[in-house]
Amino acid sequence: MIRNEKKNRIHDEEPFAGQELSLEELRLLIDNMISPFSYYRMIYDEEGRTVDYEFLAVNRAFEIETGKTREEIVGKRALSLFPETEKYWIECFGRVGKTGISEQISNYSAAFDKWYKLLAFSPKPEHVAVTVSDISNFIKEQRTLQMTAEELRAQQQENYRLAHEEPISGLPNRASLYEAMAERMAHKPERKGFMLAIFTPDNLAEILATYGSVLSDEIMRAIAQRLKELVNPPDMFFSMTGTDLVLLYSSKCDTVEARRTLALVNEAIRTPIKVEEGVFYITASCGVACYPKDSVDRDDLIMKANLALFQAKELGEPIGFYDEEIGLELLHRTRIRNELPKALEREEFELFFQPQISSATDRILGFEALLRWHSAALGDVSPLEFISVAEESRQILPIGAWVMRNAIETLCQLNERCGTEFCMAVNVSGVQLRVDDFVDQVLGLLSETGLKPSLLEIEVTESVLINRTLHAIEKLNALHKHGVRIALDDFGTGYSSLGLLKDLKVSTLKIDKVFIQDPSAAVLTKMIARLGHTLGAEIVAEGVETEEQLKFVRRAGCDRVQGFYRGLPMPLTALERFIALKEGR
């Protein structure tokens, strides 16, 4: 409520400016005022306290405002007419009537549910005139404005938070990291070095898959909270994606203290996390790149820390520092990625064939087709390097189709020319098995070339069959039903070998070379061979390099032998010579 005071009684002030007005004119003027106007005689008790007031006159606006006619009003007392009249008003008018000092107040009237601004003045003692204006709209506007200002401020704060905070971990986000890095990099490199360490939990994906994102987010938040308390500014944790934790550490990389801090962080992450669902054990890997040693460019530095992280994961080490060699490896991979798409049309691929020999008769049973890439730009590239790139880019689809056709056609020619029934093993990637018409493609090729299905053996590794939702097993079983042989490659190195054998119709188990070449694995090799035979599968020993190994795999019960000792992978011309020599054909 606002109060203004001013003395304004007849004879106290300057007379009304302008010409003399008749009483009638004055009455007309007052009656046509937009604002409600009323005139009272104040009523005091013996002790001089204001108790009420009596209406002497009101104008038309007052009638409209109150909804009562002047006949109903004039001569009546305020409290009898409007029992909810504010006590505050009565007291104020009483004061004005007594002192002659006019007052201006703004306050709320419960009787009319409105905000009013009143000007009360006293033309003669104990008489008060009041003009009223309804300021409800103005007050409402003020309030809205005030509220909007508050909301705006809150919104701005929230926007800032959203723009600078990663929502899952609650840590400062990528934008904040960039700002912090820029600030540090603004210093001369020679003076200020810093370390960028990226941590990622190793087994969060597993928790996400088993328990869902609510829990995995909660765990991430709990870890972030822990880490926050571990370092002091200017060292700080950030998170770029919600599943990574980035430490910006103001120290040179190679200090004992830096390494100790990294180990401490790893340990903090490893400490079991208790949530409602139970206790969870998280491990993390860490990749580190140093400024300015590894790079003076922000994105490059982050990339290098990620590379170091990737490398650490591959090696199963908790912490990896960036080094130049990892960079070169990546460069090579990038080159492969760039050159690979041109390889098919430039006819840079060739199939090599490695013989598989019967361990009982020592005769050739068939071959495994092995892909070779003679790249014009990179020289010969090993399939171990380019197959995974081709899988990532899905180029393995046209490449794999080329391999399949080439292998089948070559086998048909060989068998026709030699009058034999050699068998051809072809490696198939998991990516190829995901294509809907894979089965039709293979069957189509068989009917087109007239090759007996039983002379084709498709080699898959256990790892491609792990994710059973891919229907890969169904596809392989469908081919098996048509007589195509299915070989499980690198057997024993994958994950769930035994569970897989329950569902997949395998014709052949290929025991991986690590078993064949390790004398201490002899018992295992024998067991795998026995298991395979129980399932009705043939056993191929891979990587047989010596006479000794050959004798051993024979004893262990392996049916076929494949390895450098009996035959290297070779191009078709060499293979034809090999067959002629060995089989006398």
Name the residues that contact Ca ion, by CB under 5 A.
427, 459, 489-490, 542
Q: Where are the alpha helices (DSSP H) in 419-464?
A: 430-433, 438-449
**Closer residue to ligand C2E, CB minimum distance, 217 or 489:** 489
The listed partner (ligand C2E, Ca ion, none) that binds 545, CB under 5 to 8 Å by sort, is ligand C2E
Q: Going by DSSP bridges, is the β-strand pair 37-44/423-427 parallel, antiparallel, or unpaired?
A: unpaired
| Strand order through the sheet with 37-44 | 2-7, 101-109, 114-124, 127-134, 37-44, 50-58
Q: Is 569 in the site for ligand C2E (CB under 6 A)?
A: yes
* Least distance CB 218 / Ca ion (angstroms): 42
Span from 49-57, 170-178, 320-328, 381-389 in contact with ligand C2E (CB under 6 A): 381-389
CA–CA separation, 250 vs 126, rounded Å?
80
Within 13 Å, how many C-alpha atoms sit on residue 357's CB side? 23
Beta carbons within 8 Å of 132's beta carbon, 6+ residues apart: 35, 36, 37, 38, 62, 65, 116, 117, 118
The three-class DSSP label of residue 152 is helix
Please pick, from the candidates 306, 427, 508, 525, the single residue that binds ligand C2E as defined by CB under 6 A.
Answer: 427
Q: Going by DSSP bridges, is the β-strand pair 194-201/236-238 parallel, antiparallel, or unpaired?
A: unpaired
* Least distance CB 223 / Ca ion (angstroms): 40
Q: Is the dihedral of CA 199, 205, 211, 212 positive or negative?
A: positive
CA 210 to centroid of chain Cα atoms:
17
Report in angstroms the alpha-carbon separations of 104 from 53, 121, 123, 456, 532: 18, 9, 15, 104, 104
The listed partner (Ca ion, ligand C2E, none) that binds 370, CB under 5 to 8 Å by sort, is ligand C2E
Draw the binding track, 315-354, toward ligand C2E (x: CB under 6 A; -: no contact): ---------------------------------------x
Give the closest residue to 488 by CA, choosing from 512, 462, 469, 514. 462
Q: Is 370 in the site for ligand C2E (CB under 6 A)?
A: yes
* Least distance CB 431 / ligand C2E (angstroms): 8
The listed partner (Ca ion, ligand C2E, none) that binds 383, CB under 5 to 8 Å by sort, is ligand C2E
**Closer residue to Ca ion, CB minimum distance, 184 or 566:** 566
* Least distance CB 382 / ligand C2E (angstroms): 5
Q: Is 545 in the site for ligand C2E (CB under 6 A)?
A: yes
Q: Is 564 in the site for ligand C2E (CB under 6 A)?
A: yes
**Closer residue to Ca ion, CB minimum distance, 23 or 384:** 384
Query: Rule CB under 6 A: which of 507-526 touch ligand C2E?
Result: 513
The single-letter DSSP state of residue 15 is: P
Q: Give me the residues that bind ligand C2E (CB under 6 A), please.
A: 354, 370-371, 382-384, 387, 400, 403, 427-429, 489-490, 513, 543-545, 563-564, 569
